[in-house]
Amino acid sequence: MNERKRVFKLNDYLLKTYKLTKYYSEEKRISFFSLGPGKSLVRAVDNINLFVHRNEVLGLVGESGCGKSTLGKTIIRLEEPTSGKIFFEDQDITNLSQERLKSHRKKMQIIFQDPASSLNPRKTVFEIISQPLKVHGMVSNKSDTSDRVADLLKKVGLEKSHMERYPHQFSGGQKQRICIARAIALEPIFLVADEVVSALDVSIQAQILNLLVILKNDLNLSILFISHDLSVVRQISDRVAVMYLGKIVEVAPSENLFSSPLHPYTQALMSAIPVPDVEIGWNPIILQGDTPSPSQRPQGCFFHPRCSKMIDICDKEDISLNAVSQGHFVACHLYSGRSTLKKIIQAQRTWL
Amino acid sequence: MSDPLLSVKNLQVFFHLAQGTLKAIDGVSLDVKKGQIVGLVGESGGGKSMIGLSILRLVPEGGKIASGKIIFEGKNLLNLSEDEIRIIRGSYISMILQDPLTSLNPAFRIGPQMIDVLRLHKGYDKKEAELIAIEMLHNIGIPDPKKNIRKFPHQLSGGMRQRVVIAIAFSCSPKLIIADEPTTALDVTIQAQILQLLKNLSTEYQTSVLFITHDLGIVANLCDSVAVIYAGEIVETAQTSELFLNPKHPYTKALFQSILRHDKKQEHFYSIEGVMGSHIDWPDKCKFYPRCSEKLDGCEKTGSVEFVSYSPDHLVRCLKYE
């Protein structure tokens, strides 16, 4: 527990993004009335400043379509950023050539949601896990490779005898273990875990989470843990960032965020989860309407059309993250300007 | 007490596969009273959806309802002719499925899809049916229903689509709705909207709901009573508060232990050892015992375990309580 509470030194980060942006252009349909193709921009990731400390799990939550997966992929340059910078271990990796990026790829790995579709059904587990080792020249001969793969399988709780089997011979949880083994094969220091337990049953989720925690401590990993499930994120994250329509609306140490969420969106998101407890009532803050499309975002604060606490300025001026307390940042007009502290205390009180 | 609206008695659904016989549903009994919301929880592969399908006699090809009774308003649905069951489907019992995109026909505007149902089951003419459809859309919170009724399913968001499916399900004011994971594909904030809508509609129309889900959070806050299902068998059933405060079956207990909560920080994550696996040609005995942490010596040897009433309305299927 003490370890979790340790204060991170300033600049003790492994990864940092500066105004990271990823836009996609979407071809507009040619209709009878507007001739000629137009283009609209989907702002999937917009001006994001984020950092991940060494040996830290940063949770990234948000609803579908908010850009969390795109952010995860852009950070490790599986998607090319439109603008902005990415620093990894103090080096700017935004414009590194693919050739030079290769040595960095070893250090950053990703695990996806659906283990069945991220494993090649025609290859054995041995082939799947040994491939990255061979690509990066980390093994010299066959017996060496076999030892390494066996060792990796053991680390993720599988057996050596599983090596010659094919993915379809495993259950969902076991397949996800294989994906994890492949991801840690190159001894990375940074892992993007994109909805890694979402496809699994509750009783299996716990096994994978336990494994991730053990690996994180053993291998000194930093993890960007992307999920829509706040219950899972709370358990595993040191800090949590909440994303809405391509922007981060709140970042805070996990315990802070869950005990006193400040942004009205974070509050609505948390209140919407039905708690499996009959002694606690459920009074969700019902958000009006749907999330707008990221190509037609509202003026001002993007959340204002659905926000119950909207004030005059919200539909006029955009707002970026402001620090409200140690490590707690929120992008909301309610907490900027005069008498902020009073408002924060008030918000915390009403939440409890 | 009055007779339940729906009473499933000792239902068995078998699939005869090349490898042997798979008892997808093995002796399930279940009551749904009028106006009640009954939850059916369990992990994937447990047979939850199969129960929903069996009630409407929609068991997929290869499967057969081997025995049992499904009594709905005093009639055994299993004895009805194909024509008679078609009248039950939609008018008296309707269904809401997980993915609204596959329940709606992508090639038709939502208007005709709603109107057809009303014309077929209620005999309205086209004009009347359209007016009712518009009113229904208005009731379930779709803005500008006159305009939206002319849209295709792909032009609506996931939450909106599921609202349309719910509108269709409720449009013939059925007595019972089988909702099979209706919010699993939706985001939490949209899920909250839909759950409130379902709850309100069920009160307004006095409709009973059989709510199939894997989410115990929803059960705690929506359902009046719950049945927990494991590998095609109901292992425990009780009033919701009773089940949550006083779970008895080792599987129910394990399920509760393994849920993660956003309002509590847990240091250890509990998981149930092993996997459910397939139970092809499984002999008559407890299906959970290989994974059970409280198994007794007798579990492996004893034949099928019968329901024991732990208290009135609280039934458990476990050797421990026999």
What integer is the mean pLDDT of A275-294?
Answer: 87
What are residue A14's phi and psi, to 5 degrees?
Answer: -95, -40
What integer is the mean pLDDT of B192-221?
Answer: 93
Assess if residue A94 is contained within a domain. Answer: yes
ipTM: 0.84
Confidence at residue B1, expressed as pLDDT on a 0 to 100 scale: 52
Name which of A1, A63, A284 is nearest B187 (Cβ-Cβ).
Answer: A63
Assess if residue A227 is contained within a domain. Answer: yes
Query: Pick from A222, A237, A252: which residue ends a domain?
Result: A237
Nearest to A174 by CA among A201, A134, A213, A142: A201
pLDDT band at B56 (very low <50, low <70, confident <90, very high): very high
Confidence at residue A288, expressed as pLDDT on a 0 to 100 scale: 83
Assess if residue A255 is contained within a domain. Answer: no
**B261 and A258: CB-CB below 8 Å?**
no
* Gyration radius from chain B CA atoms: 21
pLDDT band at A2 (very low <50, low <70, confident <90, very high): very low
Residues in chain A with CB shorter than 8 Å from the CB of B221 are 274-275, 282
**A203 and B196: CB-CB below 8 Å?**
no
Q: Which residue has the higher pLDDT, A33 or B309?
A: B309
Residues in chain B with CB shorter than 8 Å from the CB of A205 are 258, 260, 269, 271
**A290 and B254: CB-CB below 8 Å?**
no
What integer is the mean pLDDT of A232-253?
Answer: 95
Q: Give the tokens for residue A189.
A: 């220091």
Name which of A235, A272, A279 is nearest B189 (Cβ-Cβ).
Answer: A272
Residue A308 sits in the same domain as residue A340: yes
**Nearest residue on chain B to A265, alpha-carbon basis:** B189
Chain B nearest-CA distance from A138, in A, is 34
Of A26-40, A49-63, A209-223, B20-34, the one with minimum mean pLDDT is A26-40
Confidence at residue B309, expressed as pLDDT on a 0 to 100 scale: 86
Q: List residues in chain A touching B: CB distance below 8 A.
A: 1, 63-64, 171, 173, 201-207, 209-210, 228, 230-235, 254-255, 258, 268-280, 282, 284, 286-287, 289-291
Chain A nearest-CA distance from B21, in A, is 21
pLDDT band at B89 (very low <50, low <70, confident <90, very high): very high
**A204 and B256: CB-CB below 8 Å?**
no
Assess if residue A253 is contained within a domain. Answer: no
Residue B45 confidence (pLDDT) above 60: yes
Residue A5 confidence (pLDDT) above 80: no
Name which of A204, A282, A287 is nearest B221 (Cβ-Cβ).
Answer: A282
d(CA A333, CA A320): 9
The three-state secondary structure class of B292 is coil
Chain A nearest-CA distance from B280, in A, is 17
Name which of B191, B258, B272 is nearest A272 (Cβ-Cβ).
Answer: B191
CATH code for the domain of A49: 3.40.50.300
Name which of A173, A204, A278 is nearest B245 (Cβ-Cβ).
Answer: A278
d(CA A204, CA B200): 34
Q: Which residues pair with A241 in a beta bridge?
A: A60, A251
> pLDDT over 90 for what percent of chain A?
61
Residues in chain B with CB shorter than 8 Å from the CB of A171 are 275
How many C-beta neighbours within 10 Å does residue A222 have?
22
Query: Pick from A237, A269, A301: which residue ends a domain?
Result: A237
Assess if residue A254 is contained within a domain. Answer: no
Residue A222 sits in the same domain as residue A297: no
pLDDT band at B283 (very low <50, low <70, confident <90, very high): confident
Asked if A348 and A260 touch (Cβ cutoff 8 Å), the reply is yes
**Nearest residue on chain B to A211, alpha-carbon basis:** B269
Residue A23 sits in the same domain as residue A153: yes
Residue A224 sits in the same domain as residue A300: no
| CATH (one of 3.30.70.580, 2.20.25.10, 3.40.50.300, 3.40.630.10) for B6-92+174-321 | 3.40.50.300
Residues in chain B with CB shorter than 8 Å from the CB of A230 are 188, 262
Residue A339 confidence (pLDDT) above 80: no
Residue A286 sits in the same domain as residue A348: yes
Q: Which residue has the higher pLDDT, B312 or B238?
A: B238
**A230 and B270: CB-CB below 8 Å?**
no
Chain A nearest-CA distance from B244, in A, is 7
Residue A290 confidence (pLDDT) above 90: no
Assess if residue A32 is contained within a domain. Answer: no
Average pLDDT in chain B = 90
* Positive or negative torsion for Cα A228, A230, A234, A236: negative
**Nearest residue on chain A to B193, alpha-carbon basis:** A286
> pLDDT over 70 for what percent of chain A?
91
Confidence at residue B207, expressed as pLDDT on a 0 to 100 scale: 94
Residues in chain A with CB shorter than 8 Å from the CB of B188 are 63, 228, 230, 269, 272-273
Give the pairing type, strands A57-61 and A239-244. Answer: parallel
Query: Pick from A237, A270, A286: which residue ends a domain?
Result: A237
Mutate to test the interface with B, among A238, A273, A280, A285 (most CBs of B within 10 A): A273
Q: Give the tokens for residue A150.
A: 């066996």
**A210 and B189: CB-CB below 8 Å?**
no
**A273 and B217: CB-CB below 8 Å?**
yes
**How confident is the model over A17-41, as pLDDT tens digits?**
999 999 988 765 555 555 545 567 8
The DSSP element (H or E) to which A20 belongs, if any, is strand A13-27
A-B CB pairs within 8 A amount to 126
Asked if A105 and A189 touch (Cβ cutoff 8 Å), the reply is no
What are residue B129's phi and psi, to 5 degrees?
Answer: -60, -40
Average pLDDT in chain A = 88
Name which of B159, B220, B262 is nearest A290 (Cβ-Cβ).
Answer: B159
Edge-to-edge, what's the strand order for the sheet holding B6-17? B20-32, B6-17, B63-72, B75-76
Count of domains for chain A: 2
Name which of A206, A274, A279 is nearest B217 (Cβ-Cβ).
Answer: A274
Assess if residue A242 is contained within a domain. Answer: no
Confidence at residue A1, expressed as pLDDT on a 0 to 100 scale: 40
pLDDT band at B280 (very low <50, low <70, confident <90, very high): confident
Mutate to test the interface with B, among A114, A283, A290, A303 (most CBs of B within 10 A): A290
Amino acid identity of residue A2, one-letter, is N
Assess if residue A33 is contained within a domain. Answer: no
Residue A146 sits in the same domain as residue A197: yes
Residue A266 sits in the same domain as residue A125: no
Residues in chain B with CB shorter than 8 Å from the CB of A272 are 188-189, 191-192
**How confident is the model over B16-41, as pLDDT tens digits?**
988 888 889 988 999 999 999 999 99
Q: What is the DSSP letter of A36?
A: S
**B272 and A280: CB-CB below 8 Å?**
no
Residues in chain B with CB shorter than 8 Å from the CB of A286 are 189, 192-193, 196
**A201 and B263: CB-CB below 8 Å?**
no
pLDDT band at B264 (very low <50, low <70, confident <90, very high): confident
Residue A104 belongs to what domain range? 11-27+39-237
